[in-house]
């Protein structure tokens, strides 16, 4: 694929629930390269969960760790990296990804995102009285920023992980 030829990491960006981790794993398997989830790498380094980091150290601290981890992952050769939903928002992260990787936005609509996150309580940003409303607001704020990614895949509600991964591979070809 073009990305593999360029030897650059493919970086999946997009909202919570857009499928970055599931698609990232499947994509790495198909490309025969490594996969890293930046949230998991942060948790490993901090030895505690994202929710605990938010509660104990605050979002600002989490964002600083996220930038460090992302930068490190971008230097480790061709691979698939899935990011947390907020990672692409910081200009310095976008610049780092543009310089050293290729960003691919998994663009899913509100209904699909909500369906995927509604039963999970692991996302600190959605611990609000109206989590669906919060998700909608975040999506509106963030869409124009995600749209800066050079590659975009529009998620289709009924599609399996395999089908979506095929479509991602076609985008990268
Ligand atoms: C966040 C998304 C989460 C995680 C953190 C903040 C966000 O990752 O990084 O809770 O700002 O959208 P996922 O997108 O993997 O849920």
92 CA from centroid of ligand 1 (Å): 17
Domain ranges of the chain: 2-172
Average pLDDT value for residue range 109-127: 93
- 90-117 burial, b at 16+ Cβ within 10 Å, e below that, comes to beebbebbeeebbbbbbbbeeebbbebb
What would the CATH number be for the domain defined by 2-172? 3.40.50.300
When pLDDT is cut at 50, 70 and 90, the band that residue 1 belongs to is low
Mean pLDDT of 128-148: 97
pLDDT tens for 26-73 read: 999 999 999 999 999 999 999 999 999 999 999 999 999 999 999 999
Question: Which amino acids bring their CB within 6 angstroms of ligand 1?
Answer: 16, 20, 39, 50, 84-86, 123-125
Confidence of residue 156 (pLDDT cuts 50, 70, 90): very high
For the stretch 66-101, pLDDT in tens is 999 999 999 988 999 999 999 999 999 999 999 999
């Amino acid at each position: 694929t073009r990305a593999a030829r360029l030897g650059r990491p493919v970086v999946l960006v997009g909202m919570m629930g857009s499928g970055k981790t599931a698609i990232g794993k499947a994509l790495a398997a198909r490309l025969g390269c490594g996969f890293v989830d930046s949230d998991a790498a942060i948790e490993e380094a901090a030895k505690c969960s994202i929710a605990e980091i938010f509660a104990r150290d605050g979002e600002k601290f989490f964002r600083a760790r996220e930038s460090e981890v992302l930068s490190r992952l971008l230097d480790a050769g061709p691979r698939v990296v899935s990011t947390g939903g907020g990672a692409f928002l910081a200009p310095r992260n976008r610049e780092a990804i543009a310089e050293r990787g290729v960003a691919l936005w998994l663009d899913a609509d509100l209904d699909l995102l909500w369906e995927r996150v509604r039963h999970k309580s692991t996302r600190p940003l959605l611990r609000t009285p109206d989590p669906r409303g919060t998700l909608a607001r975040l999506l509106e704020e963030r869409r124009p920023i995600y749209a800066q990614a050079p590659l975009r895949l529009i998620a289709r509600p009924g599609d399996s992980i395999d089908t979506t991964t095929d479509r991602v591979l076609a985008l990268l070809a």
